[in-house]
Amino acid sequence: MGRPVYKLRPSDYWRIGEHESWFSDMAAKGLFLKKMGIHFARFEKGEPQKVRYRIDVSLKKRIPAEQIEIYSESGWDYVTSYRNFQVFSSPDELNAPELHTDPAEQAYTLRELDKKLAWNAIGVIVGLVLMIGMMASIWFLDGIPTYVIVDGTAIQQTILTIFIAYTAYHSLRAALSIRDLRKRLVEGKPINHQAPWKKHHRIHTTAAFLFTVLVGVSAVIPFIQLVKMDTKTLPETSVDLPIIRLADVERNPELVRSGTTYMSDNVDWGNRYSYKWSPLAPVQYETDESGQVPGKLWDDKSGEYSPAIHTQVFELTFPDMADNLVSDLIKRYQYENRQEKYLKKNHPDLDLLIVHVEKEMKEVFASKGNTVMYVQYHGNANVGTVIDNVAEKIR
């Protein structure tokens, strides 16, 4: 025998006939099975030969030596095992008798495996239901699924749920397939030892590749988000960021920055900008800025005039998500306000513009192409000034 060769398995592990057929086809090409893994099989290269393979089922991982000896006397050599399956081989010219001549008797050997796979499937499905419930609460409890997925905080959990769903599907198929095989054996229909395997091989290879990529992405995304995430104190002078500055709205030279109210990690959180990344919104900014005008009072004389502004900006990977994101942002910041208070307006430089005004508080929700912006301003400037600034920044 020569060097080892590794091959991706052609199908799901419970497809007994397809595996037997695949092993024989590989032997005809000079590749002889030596070891089976979760996804790959190890072969050793040699001279092509016609070899028959048979798979026996046992609940024990190790088959008793006495049974191996009995099979060997009948012309079947033990090769390897995987899960509950034991693989034996025999040269075709030896014409060894079948390991199981009575299909009904062979069906009896699958009884315990049938039960085990059924309980496995139930366990995984219960876990999937719990996971779906958790994800549904994250996605839909606040009714803002687009915002949740764009923000990026639930991406890893979503991918994990998809993977668990595939595992549940895989487990259910295994249980149903073994049960169906038992039924056919009881009816006297033997296993097809030359079952075609190439179609399932293509499906299995594609699925294995996709889920390998999916799991890899789910592992990498949180690290990218962590590396790209940053929060800093917003400079008092203008910065080249796609945000609305308080001074641009107020247009009052006497405006000064408010004193620090909350300082953490050397960041003034009352005057800060944060940057985030997600696959569906590679550019995300969120800012808070507060100021005051010495000697000036609010119109109701409640205290010194202290305007503030909050901005969120999203540059989306898919522009078609913009309208849904605007809708979710309204729901997120709606509080007790009624929907009819949010007025849709036309603007030549914006695809969508929705405005909400409540005394000194003005909210603007806007989108243009793949960019979505939300601005909440608390001050005396009119909402038209806020809209003009939004249109300019988006443009």
- DSSP string for 325-363: HHHHHHHHH-TT--GGGSEEE--TT-SEEEEEEETTEEE
Cβ–Cβ under 8 Å, residues 76 and 96: yes
pLDDT tens, position by position, 264-303: 788 888 899 999 999 999 999 999 999 999 989 998 888 8
Q: Is 58 left (phi over 0), alpha (psi -120 to 50) or beta?
A: beta
pLDDT tens, position by position, 353-381: 999 998 899 999 999 999 999 999 999 99
The pLDDT > 90 percentage for the chain reads: 52
Checking if the pLDDT of 102 tops 60, the result is yes
Please state, in angstroms and rounded to a whole number, the distance separating the CA atoms of residues 75 and 283.
Answer: 67
Which one-letter DSSP state was computed for residue 185?
H
Q: Where is average pLDDT lowest: 180-184, 308-312, 336-340?
A: 336-340
Cβ–Cβ under 8 Å, residues 119 and 242: no
Provide the pairing of β-strand 281-292 with 4-8. Answer: unpaired
Beta-carbon contacts of residue 202 (< 8 Å; ≥ 6 apart): none
pLDDT for position 214: 82
Cβ–Cβ under 8 Å, residues 18 and 11: yes
Q: Give mean pLDDT, residues 99-105.
A: 86
Going from N- to C-terminal start, the domains of the chain cover 4-99, 109-223, 229-394
Beta-carbon contacts of residue 95 (< 8 Å; ≥ 6 apart): 75
Considering only CA atoms, which of 364, 369, 331, 342 is closest in space to residue 146? 331
Average pLDDT value over all residues in the chain: 89
Indicate the pTM of the whole model: 0.73
Considering only CA atoms, which of 316, 176, 152 is closest in space to residue 225? 152
User: Residue 1 — very low, low, confident or very high, per pLDDT cuts 50/70/90?
Assistant: low
Architecture per CATH, 229-394: 3-Layer(aba) Sandwich (3.40)
Q: Give mean pLDDT, residues 25-45.
A: 92
Checking if the pLDDT of 262 tops 80, the result is no
pLDDT for position 162: 86
Q: DSSP readout, 115-163? A: HHHHHHHHHHHHHHHHHHHHHHHHHHTTT-HHHHHHHTTTHHHHHHHHH
Q: Give mean pLDDT, residues 70-84.
A: 90
Q: Give mean pLDDT, residues 124-145.
A: 86
Q: Which of 3-12, 17-26, 190-199, 329-338 has the highest mean pLDDT?
A: 17-26
Checking if the pLDDT of 78 tops 70, the result is yes
Which one-letter DSSP state was computed for residue 319?
G
Sheet holding 77-82, edge to edge: 51-57, 85-91, 77-82
Checking if the pLDDT of 27 tops 80, the result is yes
Q: Give mean pLDDT, residues 316-339.
A: 89
Checking if the pLDDT of 2 tops 70, the result is no
Characterize 197-207 residue by residue with b for buried, 16 or more Cβ atoms within 10 angstroms of its Cβ, and e for exposed: beebbeebeee
Give the other-Cβ count within 10 Å of 357's Cβ.
16
Checking if the pLDDT of 36 tops 60, the result is yes
pLDDT tens, position by position, 126-136: 999 998 888 88
Considering only CA atoms, which of 178, 154, 138, 189 is closest in space to residue 57? 178
Checking if the pLDDT of 204 tops 90, the result is no
